[in-house]
Amino acid sequence: MAEINKVQIEDIVRRVLSNIDNTAASTTQADEGYSATSYNGRAFIGIYSDMNEAIEAAEKGYRAVRSMSVEQREKIITAIRTLIREEALIMAEIGVSETGMGRVEHKRLKHILVADKTPGTEDIVSSAKTGDHGLTLIEMAPFGVVGAITPSTNPSETVLCNSIGMIAAGNGVVFNPHPNAIATSNYAVDLVNRASRSSGGPEVLVASMDKPTMESASVMQSHPLIRLLVCTGGPGVVKAVLSSGKKAIGAGAGNPPVIVDDTADIVKAGKDIIDGCTFDNNLPCIAEKEVFAFASIKDKLIAQMQKNGAYLINDAQAARLADIVLVDVTDKKTGKTKKSINRKCVGRDAAVLLDMIGIKAGKDIRCIICETDFNHPFVQEELMMPILPIVSVKNIDEAIDLAVKAEHGNRHTAHMHSKNIDNLSRFASAVETTIFVKNAPSYAGIGFGGEGHTTFTIAGPTGEGITSARSFTRQRRCVMADSFRII
């Protein structure tokens, strides 16, 4: 039988106690007892108040990893995977409780996906070239200390996925997590350090901040020990790291369109789109954000979506909802006003959003759908909420034209439901996204019900794509001239 660890014992005790006290029975273990530096009284390892100190600690972690065998690195990674599986629910609950966004069960599944499908040291592959002039060996080396900026939407998932890949590649890591998800992110940092300690690694393998700010991010970006910046977030932060003057991997915003043509299996398409769009309340950057449906099948598609937990609102209701979930912001530089998402609505349940416009919906409602035109802000903005606009199109030319425009050149993710291979190929080629999913929910694109490894850092702007350990390495060549060839 599998052994249970101290954190799980604390969790069980807490649950038992909360069941004895009926007033606390409805709370989760995450409602109290967590902060940026501790969980239920257990102090986190590797959390600092000063970014310079955090970087120095990560540098020591890096030195320790450098002197380890690959086998030892893999042992630590195995321990990280085990702890993630054991504590996935705790992190999911803290994530929802702290950020107010997403769904506990979906977050739990995302953690399990990280544990199961993030590549480890096997991803680092050396190569050799032989010829008349001997042998040349190409090895993938670590950068050193990586500075990683992580989002509020997949906070602990990103810290854990980045940590596995970066450690597998032989790096140290310092995180500057999103301030709104600091307890969740630092829980994950602590988990990595506990795994390291339990498997013979250094006490502090990865480091983070107790109060991350723009200033601490900027110290990180300019610190001489930081050799690589990896940033997962919206356009602002990707731009910031790409202007840092250092090697940077940028994983930025998306606005994934979905095309449904007249050859699609509409029953499956309706279910797949709602499943993908509502996963963790639409927080994943790859999730379906707007649909372009052929006019000939649109009504049938909407009916299938309704069968799968979608609530159809009319134009007036959509306008009222838009006034709530989008707010006017004025650009300080240009003075121009534009629509921006209301952070208080991001990642909320569909029922909560419907309630904001006076509609009471049952628990089975998980998505709000509406028919809109192409210019509607629900189509144009990356909402990250379970609201899905559907635009009617005449044919594949119009569908591709509008879907490509709605993706805004992010080259992030797009989806299509079709059995027409010409249509599928044409859209895949035109949209130029890092991920293109055919006839499945969006999450198949990150290895959940689809082939391939997972990542929570999809680097479109800088081209690494579905990042993994090898993305965090630098190539080195060693040449032995005129010998060591054995044929």
Instruction: Kindly list the residues in this chain that would bind ligand NAD in the complex (CB under 6 A).
Output: 149-154, 177-179, 214, 217, 232-234, 236-237, 240, 251-254, 285, 382, 456-458
- Give the start-end residues of each E strand in 67-223: 127-131, 134-142, 145-149, 172-176, 206-209
Nearer to ligand NAD, 372 or 457 (CB): 457
Shortest Cβ 207–ligand NAD spacing (Å):
15
73 and 168 Cβ atoms separated by less than 8 Å: yes
Q: What residues contact 8, with CB distance under 8 A and at least 6 apart?
A: 86, 87
From the CB of 150, what's the least distance to ligand NAD, in Å? Answer: 6
Buried/exposed 115-151: b ≥16 CB within 10 Å, e otherwise = bebbbbbebbeeeeeeeeeebbeeebebbbbbbbbbb
Polymer length of the chain: 487
Angle at 153 between CA 103 and CA 378, to 5 degrees: 85
Minimum distance of ligand NAD from residue 190's CB (angstroms) = 18
Q: How far is the CB of 18 from ligand NAD (least distance, A)?
A: 30
Minimum CB–partner distance for residue 154 and ligand NAD (Å): 6
How far is CA 96 from each of CA 30, 41, 134, rounded to the nearest angstrom?
Answer: 9, 20, 57
Min separation Cβ 466 and ligand NAD, Å: 9
Nearest to ligand NAD of 11, 190 (CB atom): 190
**Residue 336 and residue 394 in contact, taking contact as beta carbons nearer than 8 Å:** no
Nearer to ligand NAD, 183 or 424 (CB): 183
Q: Cβ of residue 176: shortest distance to ligand NAD, in angstroms? A: 6
Spatial CB neighbours of 190, under 8 Å, sequence gap ≥ 6 = 39, 44, 45, 46, 47
In the complex, minimum distance from the CB of residue 254 to ligand NAD, in angstroms, rounded to a whole number: 5
- Is 171 or 184 the residue whose CB approaches ligand NAD more closely? 184
Q: Residue 153 or 208: which CB sits closer to ligand NAD? A: 153
The smaller minimum CB distance to ligand NAD, of residues 94 and 393, is found at 94
Q: Which is nearer to ligand NAD, 233 or 389 (CB)?
A: 233
For residue 122, the number of C-alpha atoms closer than 13 Å in the C-beta half-sphere is 6
Closer Cβ to ligand NAD, 405 or 419, answer by number: 405
What totals of helices (H) and strands (E) does the chain contain, helices first? 15, 22
Residue number of the CB closest to ligand NAD reads 233
* Rounded Cα distance, 182 and 188, in Å: 10
Q: What is the CA radius of gyration of the chain?
A: 24
CB of 424 to ligand NAD, least distance (A): 23
Closer residue to ligand NAD in complex, CB, 151/202 = 151
| Positive or negative: CA dihedral 321, 109, 455, 218 | positive
Count of CB atoms situated within 10 Å of the CB of 155: 32
- Give the Cα separation of 323 and 326 in Å (integer): 6
